Amino acid sequence: MTPERKRLTREESRQQTRGRLLAAAAELFTERGVNGTSVEQIAERAGYTRGAFYGNFEDKNALVAELLQHRTRSELEEVRALTQDAASFADALGALRAWNRDRARHLPEWLALRMELVLHALRNEELRPLLAERELLARDAHTSGLEQAFAARGVQAPADPAFLGLIVHALEDGLLIQRLLTPGGIPDDVVVDAFDLLLRSWTALAQRPDGEGPGQDPSDTP
């Protein structure tokens, strides 16, 4: 006999519907852009009616806001799960390399959706605070990782860790764009290469005697 399928609760059914609408929207935004996608198209792709959409989201901007938050949290949870149990920093870097190589297989879609969501938020003032919140979450994750790495090396950060986290975060976007546009010679895990190089450089800078900045001759110090 076929086992009886468990009946979803009202809340479980609601969450399933929202999840399907978000997944459908992500696909369509990637294919057509946010402005090129209608509420009706999202509902149809998800297998629902227009009424189901408005039963879950006030409008398309509300869906964009939730998609921004959902993607950020999901990615941060993935990376945290990969690195939190690593036995060493080298193991953590290895896990991050594998994650980046996996992401590279669908980088055009991943990056297209990210850029679409960012552009839509920039064009709609009410969404900018949510975009800023999303970016701050990612920057805080980089900052925390750097602080842990510096502590493990027994050095103090050579600058405000939040500023260094901002550099890493901004560099990630730029490197992924370059990887997509000019893939020849740029490895899938270029973001991890850049992070590793920056961390080693900043650690070396932090270990310099006081007064010896980068490129400064100690004999020139007054």
Residue-wise pLDDT for 107-157, tens only, equals: 999 999 989 988 998 898 888 998 898 899 889 999 998 998 999 899 999
Residue type, 195: F
What is the spatial distance between Cα 136 and Cα 110, in angstroms, rounded to a whole number?
Answer: 19
- Residue 74: pLDDT over 80: yes
What confidence score (pLDDT) does residue 210 get? 64
Residue 222 scores a pLDDT above 70: no
Is pLDDT above 90 for 56? Answer: yes
- Over residues 21-53, the pLDDT tens digits come to 999 999 999 999 999 999 999 999 999 999 999
| Residue 27 buriedness (CB in 10 A; 0-12 / 13-18 / 19+) | middle
Distances (CA, A) of 6 to 9, 12, 16, 41: 9, 11, 14, 30
> What are 138's two structure tokens?
């990612």
Largest Cα–Cα separation, the chain: 88
130 in Cβ contact with 65 (< 8 Å):
yes
Q: Is 60 exceeded by the pLDDT of residue 3?
A: no
| Predicted local distance difference test score (pLDDT) of residue 146 | 93
Q: What is the torsion angle, in degrees rounded to the nearest 10, for the CA atoms of residue 104, residue 174, residue 115 and residue 165?
A: 100
Report percent pLDDT > 90 for the chain: 61
Residue 77 has pLDDT above 60, yes or no: yes
